[in-house]
Amino acid sequence: MKNMKSMVKPDSHNIMAPKTVGQYLFDCLKLEGVTEIFGVAGDYNFTLLDTLESYNGIKFIEGRNELNSGYASDGYARMKGISALITTFGVGELSACNPIAGAFSEHIPIIHIVGSPPEKDQKEHKLMHHTLMDGNFDVFRKMYEQITAYSAVLTPENAMIEIPAAIRVAKEKKQPVYLVVADDLVAKPIMVREVPLLPPRTSDTQTLQAAVEQVRQLLEHSSSPVILVDVKSMRFGLQNAVLQLADTLNVPVASMLFGKGAFDETHPNYIGIYLGSFGSTEVQSIVENSDCIIALGLVWADVNTASYTAKLNSLNTVDVQPDFVKVGKALYPNILAEDMLNAVKNIGYKGQGLLKKVDFPYNLKKINTDELLMAAGYYPIFQQMLKKDDILIVETGTFYNGMAEVRLPSNVTYIGQGGWGSIGYATPSSFGANIAAPERRVLLFTGDGSLQLTAQEISSMLYYGCKPIIFVLNNNGYTIEKYLNVKTKDQMYNNIPQWSYTKLAEAFGGNAFTTIVRTNGELEQAINQADIECAERLCIIEMIVEDSMDAPENMKRMRNYMLKQ
C-alpha cells in the first residue's frame, strides 16, 4: 500500500480509498493540463460522464455530434498541447474516425476514450445495440489501430499501466491514442501498480556530432543559406529553437504552406511562404537558388509543395525531422530535432540577413471602399485587421490558400488542416480553440460550402458563451473544387443550397452581431464593429462575392499549371 498516498483524490485529504478507473483516468488527464473534455453522450459512456460530472477540475463539453467534437478536440489540442474526446461504442466512435484520422495525419495528440458495453455481456458475446450483431466487441478497436499510435482495453487491473503509457505515446509521437473501457468497469477501484519510469529520450551523441560536422562543411562553403520552416516544427514545439537559430545564423527564413504560423512573421529575416511555382517568384528564387537549405520539420506532400513544383536541391538540403536528420544523401537516425538545432546554432556561422527588402503580396495598398468584394481587396483588409495574440482558424479551400500569404503579427496562433484537408474542419476546430483560450480573440475564416457541413457547432459556441468573429465567404459553392477540376465546367455537384448565414445564430437560439457585406468599405466597417461586439457576443460577417471564380493569385497560378498539364 506504499503508493496509496499518490492515489488519493486531489481534493480529498482524509479518504484513503483507491481511485476508480474513471477517477484515475481523469487524474492523469488533469496532470497534462486538460481542463475540458469534448464528446457526445451515449448509454455506454454514461458511467464515464457521471464520474466526470462529479470530478473537480475537468468539465465535459458536449458537441452536436461526434464528428464535430473530434474536430473541436483537435483545435483544443493545437492550443494546449493535448486534448481528450469521449464517445460511445460503435456509432459514436465511428463518427469520430474522420477527425481522429486527421489528427493522426497532422500530428495532433488526442486521447480518444470510448465507453463500451458491460464486460459480462461482452464475454458472453451477446448481440448488443451499436454493434455489428456478430458478438465481436473488438472490431472497432482494430479499425482504430490504423489511425492511432496506441490502443488499449482498460481494466481495473491494467489502468495504472495502460493510461500513462497511452498518454506518453500521444505526447512523444504527437498523434491520437485510443482507450476503450466497459461501462461497468469505470467505477471499479483500480489495482495499485508500480508505474515504470522511463528515461527521457536522448540523441545519439556520435551520430549528432557527425551530422553537425557535415552541416558545418555545407555552411562553410555556402554564400546564400536559407531556413525553411514547416509544420512539424510547430507540432513538436520547436518554435523557440527555430527562432534562436534564425537569430544566430542571420539568414533569410521562409515558411512552407503547412508550416504557416510556425515562425514569427514580423521577424526582419522572414521572407514569406514558399509555394513553389504558385507563390511569390521572389521567395521562390531565394529558396531555390540557395546553396544550403536548413529545412525544419518538412513534409514533402502535394499541396505543401504546390503540386511538387517546389524544387529543392537535395544535396544542399539539411532535413531536420523530430527524431532524425538527413544531410544531402546521408541519413543520421536517433537525433532529436532540438539537439540538432542547438548544435547548428553553435557552429559559429553568421550570415548577412536579407540583402534586400522583400515585398509581401498583401502589404497595404490603397483600397477602393466602393469596389465589390474580391480577393485582391479583402485579403489586404484582413492583414490590416489582425492583432498580436489573435487565433486564426482557416478552412480548407479558398481561405486556406488566400490567408497563407497574409502577413501575421507576432504571437498569432494559426490553425489550418493542410494535410488531411477535411472540408468543414474549421468551424468546430474554432469551437475547441475558443474553449482552450477564452481570453484571446478568435477569428474563423470559412466558406459557404464548408460551413454547411458542420454549422451545428455555432450552436455549441453560443451555448458555451464563445465569442469568435466568423467570416463566411459566400461565393456560391465550392470554389476550390471548381479550380481543381479543370476538365469540365459548371459542375452541378459543386453548387450548394443558399442559406441565410446571418440568421443561423437566431435559429440556434443565441444572440449574435450579424451583418452582410458586399463592398470593401462595408467589410471594413463590419470589422470595426465586430471588434467592439466580440467582447460581449459572437459575430458573423457574411461576405457576398459575386464572381464565384474569384480567388487569390496562388490559386489562379495553380489552375493555370493544371490546365497546362
Q: What are the catalytic residues? A: 43, 66, 129-130, 421, 448, 475, 477, 481
The DSSP element (H or E) to which 558 belongs, if any, is: helix 553-564
Question: Nearest-CA neighbor of 76 among 108, 100, 40, 113?
Answer: 108
Q: Which amino acid is at 126?
A: K
Backbone angles phi, psi at 49, to 5 degrees: -70, -35
Cite the beta strand spans of 186-329 per DSSP E: 225-229, 253-255, 270-273, 292-296, 317-321, 324-327
Give the full edge-to-edge strand order of the sheet including 83-88.
59-62, 36-39, 83-88, 110-116, 177-182, 151-154
Backbone angles phi, psi at 165, to 5 degrees: -65, -45
Place of cell 500513462: 164
Which residues, 6 or more positions from 448, have their beta carbon under 8 angstroms from its beta carbon?
472, 473, 474, 475, 476, 477, 496, 499, 501
User: Distance of CA 457 to CAs 424, 432, 451, 469, Å?
Assistant: 10, 10, 10, 14
Classify burial at 81, counting beta carbons within 10 Å of its beta carbon; exposed 0-12, middle 13-18, buried 19 or more. Answer: middle
- Cell matching residue 43: 448509454
Q: Most distant CA pair in the chain: distance in Å?
A: 76
Rounded to an integer, what distance in angstroms lies between the CA atom of residue 349 and that of residue 328? 19
Which residues, 6 or more positions from 356, have their beta carbon under 8 angstroms from its beta carbon?
none
- Cell matching residue 70: 473530434
3-class DSSP state of 202: coil
- Cell matching residue 443: 477569428
Which residues, 6 or more positions from 155, have their beta carbon under 8 angstroms from its beta carbon?
21, 181, 185
- Cell matching residue 405: 500569404
